[in-house]
Structure 1
Amino acid sequence: MVRFKNRWLLVELIPCPSTSTTSALDASAPEGSAIESKNIWSALKQSVIANFGDVGWGAVSSSLTIKYYSPTTNVCIIRVARDHHQTAWAGVTLLTSIEGRKYVPNVVHVSGTIKQAQLAAIAHNREVIARYRANRLQAAAYQDSYEEFLQQSTQVLEALQD
């Protein structure tokens, strides 16, 4: 039996502020405007096709999947075959928008196992939540909804399987 070897990309999608709308409108954006993993997959597909053509998409299409996405921290885990992970990585880096909204993708971690991607995602989520708390000027010991989010996201990430 042949084992398929994969690479796991941990990607943070940093939203760019819109210049045409005011900050008051951005604060009142509806919950339904958040992107989903299928939107990320289709935007990544268009990025790979635009930059590497049908040959590039043919190489990565059979193994490319979005295994996890958190709309709170905008972090996703992408699985791709080891042989073609550089094409997928370049496609992620060259990604500019998802569903008409501009994002700056940041590849945080690349690993060979899902376990290492999970550990990196948990550590990254803690850093992002610490940044949120610092922006709100709250102590780390303060109990808020972020603590519940950290527990839930840790459970979801640990439950991921290859």
Structure 2
Amino acid sequence: MVAFKNRYMVMEVFLDPNKDLSVEDPIIITKTNLEKAIEGSIRLNFGECGWASSTNSFQVKYVNPITKVCIFRASRNEYKKVWSSITMVRSIGNCPVVFNLLDLSGKLEYR
């Protein structure tokens, strides 16, 4: 039996501080919002073939909407494609965002 080799990326989401939040409701970071934004970025930058190769193992494992810390899982062969697509995401919904990689690991460790 062969174990699937994955990479886990711990990322922080920065919302645009210059946006006037009094006009609209602030965006709430959820798994579905992140999955849609990243899927769109992978399809835009790498096409359908790139999405098909990375969708097998890509998953949003954890999202904290208060601290805006997220954990993404991708296969070891595809993590660079997913990582580069995540950094190319410029907005979630109508809210401009920027991602910052905090840690890249081969396994999840809870301390």
TM-score (norm 2): 0.91
Higher relative contact order (CA 8 A, sep 6+): 2
1:105 is matched with which residue?
99
Query: Does the residue aligned with 2:71 lie in a helix, a strand or coil?
Result: strand
Query: Could you tell me which amino acid in structure 2 is paired with residue 96 of structure 1?
Result: R
Equivalent residue, structure 2, for 1:17 = 17
Deviation of residue 29 (structure 1)?
4.3
8 A contact 1:35–1:99 mirrored in 2: no
Shift >3 Å, 4+ stretches: none
> Distance between the aligned counterparts of 1:86 and 1:52, measured in 2?
12
Question: Residue 57 of structure 1 corresponds to which residue in structure 2?
Answer: 51
1:54 offset after TM fit, Å? 1.0
Offset of residue 17 of structure 1: 2.6
Figure out how many residues of one structure are paired with residues of the other and give that number. 111
Q: Is 1:38 aligned to residue 32 of structure 2?
A: yes
* C-alpha distance in 1 between matches for 2:18 and 2:42: 25
Alpha-carbon distance between aligned partners in 2 of 1:83 and 1:53, rounded to the nearest angstrom? 17
**Which is strand-richer, 1 or 2?**
2
State the TM-score, normalized to the length of structure 1: 0.63
Deviation of 1:86 (Å): 0.3
Q: What is the CA–CA distance in structure 1 between the aligned matches of 2:87 and 2:53, rounded to whole Å?
A: 17
Structure 2: which amino acid aligns with 1:17? P
AA partner of residue 98 (structure 1)? I
Q: Confirm or deny: 8 A CA contact 2:8 2:106 kept in the other structure.
A: yes
Q: Which residue of 1 aligns with 2:77?
A: 83
Gaps of at least 5 residues in structure 1 are 120-162
Structure 2 gaps, min length 5: none
Secondary structure in structure 1 of the residue aligned to 2:41: helix
Q: Helix, strand or coil for the counterpart of 1:114?
A: coil
Structure number with bigger Rg: 1
Q: Deviations over 1:75-110 (max 9, x none)?
A: 100001111000000011111111221100111111
Q: Partner letter of residue 13 of structure 1? A: V
- In terms of fraction of residues, the more helix-rich structure is 1
